[in-house]
Chain A
Amino acid sequence: DAKTTQPPSMDCAEGRAANLPCNHSTISGNEYVYWYRQIHSQGPQYIIHGLKNNETNEMASLIITEDRKSSTLILPHATLRDTAVYYCIVRPLDDYKLSFGAGTTVTVRA
């Protein structure tokens, strides 16, 4: 299955937008881009997913490049509670043997 590459860490100021990049250059046509996050001592939390169109929900926006080789998760107004490890994964719809990489540790600072 396709691998993803994310920066290991990033800082963000409270109230500002956080833009989290993810590279998935070997993504297949049937694979979706999913984002989860994991706040310390909690289970992974689903954020958003998409195939090729940009997506937005109450938590975030997902921008996928036209060639689908990379994407960006946007948290529009980061709060301290958004401090977490963010995981970008690519998977076909019927794949349930999820695996998370190292993710990006996002620290939101006041």
Chain B
Amino acid sequence: GAGVSQSPSNKVTEKGKDVELRCDPISGHTALYWYRQSLGQGLEFLIYFQGNSAPDKSGLPSDRFSAERTGGSVSTLTIQRTQQEDSAVYLCASSLRTATTGNTIYFGEGSWLTVV
């Protein structure tokens, strides 16, 4: 597609429920990233996928968070047993990761998660 597509755009869930957030990166982009942006907080890196390499999960805040990327394209971020502190905007991004490009990271519009 023309840009990074995320769904749902807004999600309200009850504490303790599981949620899945979906990301469709820019066509042809091999790298996919998830970030989180909380109100009053900065941008927080969560996880990075590059091709068939093992993902960098170093930013995931707890084992309730997981992500997968199927077929090297679409990715799903799953949050189990949601807590109120999980309320945030979850941003997916992608880039065309080569040594000669600027490796510019393009963001989607985000999935706004509210845990009540």
Residues in chain A near residue B99, CB distance under 8 A: 93
Q: With A and B bound together, what is the CA distance between A87 and B31 in angstroms?
A: 22
Name the residue of chain B whose CB is nearest to the CB of A103.
Answer: B42
Residues in chain B near residue A99, CB distance under 8 A: 42-43, 45
Q: How many residues of B contact A (CB 8 A)?
A: 22
Taking the complex as formed, is A30 at the interface, i.e. its CB lies under 8 A from any CB of chain B?
no
Residues in chain B near residue A21, CB distance under 8 A: none
Taking the complex as formed, is B77 at the interface, i.e. its CB lies under 8 A from any CB of chain A?
no
Query: Could you count the A-B residue pairs with CB atoms below 8 Å apart for me: how many are there?
Result: 45
Residues in chain B near residue A46, CB distance under 8 A: 104-107
Q: Of A3-11, A37-45, A66-74, A76-84, which stretch is located at the interface?
A: A37-45
Q: With A and B bound together, what is the CA distance between A42 and B31 in angstroms?
A: 21
Name the residue of chain A whose CB is nearest to the CB of B102.
Answer: A49
Taking the complex as formed, is A58 at the interface, i.e. its CB lies under 8 A from any CB of chain B?
no
Partner of A96, one of B48, B102, B110: B48
Q: With A and B bound together, what is the CA distance between A97 and B33 in angstroms?
A: 9
Give chain A's interface residues, CB within 8 Å of chain B. Answer: 32, 34, 36, 42-46, 49, 93-94, 96-101
Give chain B's interface residues, CB within 8 Å of chain A. Answer: 4, 31, 33, 35, 42-43, 45, 48, 59, 89, 91, 95, 99, 102-110
